[in-house]
Structure 1
Amino acid sequence: MKSMQSFMVALIMVALISCNNEPAADTTSAAPAFSLDSAKAAIAASNDAFMAAFTKGDSTGVAACYATDGKIMPAGMPAIEGQAGISGFVAASVHMGLKDFKLSTSNVWGGEELVGEEGTYTLTAADGTAVDNGKYIVLWKKENGAWKMFRDVWTSNVPPAPVK
């Protein structure tokens, strides 16, 4: 009789354990959790690469900081899309005498799909003259595991020249 009771207790235990309907956690395919601090660090590193490439006159290096479908939206002209178009715009800017581009990030926010960045910029000519300064907003997205600029818009703080 004692063995029958032990058997019944074991059978009930197995039944109770097998009633757990929750799926087992799959830890092998879980994507890493989004970290805004990691995104901020990646954006800061990309901005450093952007500024260094611009200072060297490396338009291809600047364009590599953008997503393949990235778009810049400068004031006073149509938007320019794609790395080739962005590279051409930067090359023309360097050819016009722009030499140094400084970015200063003031805020970064967002989630794993898109991250926004806002800040200020200063553009300097080859002779050291400050040419422009203003503010910008960039939307970043992940492309091949790296944060890339997706949309980039900026506006100058310098008033437009008077119309003659």
Structure 2
Amino acid sequence: MTFTKPLASFLGASIAFALHCTPALAASTQSPDAAAVKAVTEQFATDLAKGDLKAISRLYTDDARLLPPNDDPVSGRAAILAYFEKTLRPDLVGGATFDHYEIYGGENSAISLSQIRMLDTKGQVIERGKQTIVLLKQDGKWKIHRDMWSDNAPTSPEKP
């Protein structure tokens, strides 16, 4: 499936970044705005279920960056929309669910770690993985600034 490899790389990079940042953020533990941070991811899921990729792109900062698995970074809201138009097409992906949240941060920045299930158009799970997003508060609203994910599928052995 076209979406699987990018999802796998994205989730892997996200987890690596989160593990790198966790000690620095541990002092502030749970974000004081955890519900609002979580709401951004839940809005992503709602918009994806509707097939509204433009609405999803508006959840990102202007200079946001996707760090997809096994792919180059995708920078800027317009490029992110174009990436999602290829990988999250409504004929391929019907939605997503997020759970097992860990949210760390402060007043104007946060990191959200969650588990993700990608769904097909019939609501069946087609992929399970992990997501790490870095959010910034801009104009009083939380926006995704960095987005990384990976899937839980085992990696295939290297070919000689």
Q: TM-score, normalised by structure 2?
A: 0.72
CA distance in 2, matches of 1:104, 1:68: 26
Q: CA-atom RMSD, angstroms? A: 2.0
Displacement of 1:144? 1.5
TM-superposition CA deviations, 1:51-103 (whole Å, max 9, x none): 11111111111111111111111101111111111111222123361111111
Identical residues among aligned pairs (%): 23
| SS of equivalent residue, structure 1 residue 159 | coil
Structure with larger RCO (C-alpha < 8 A, sep 6+)? 2
Q: TM-score, normalised by structure 1?
A: 0.70
Answer yes or no: is the 8 Å Cα contact 1:105–1:117 preserved in 2.
Answer: no
Which residue in the other structure is 2:14 paired with?
none
Letter in structure 2 aligned against 1:111: G
What is the number of residues matched between the two proteins?
A: 129
CA distance in 2, matches of 1:156, 1:69: 25
CA distance in 1, matches of 2:86, 2:49: 14
Which residue in the other structure is 2:135 paired with?
140
CA distance in 1, matches of 2:109, 2:44: 19
The answer as to 2:94 corresponding to 1:99 is yes
CA distance in 2, matches of 1:106, 1:81: 25
Larger radius of gyration: 1
Which residue in the other structure is 1:131 paired with?
126
Which residue in the other structure is 1:14 paired with?
none
Structure 1: gaps (5+ residues):
1-34
Answer yes or no: is the 8 Å Cα contact 1:101–1:122 preserved in 2.
Answer: yes
Structure 2: gaps (5+ residues):
1-29
CA distance in 2, matches of 1:139, 1:48: 15
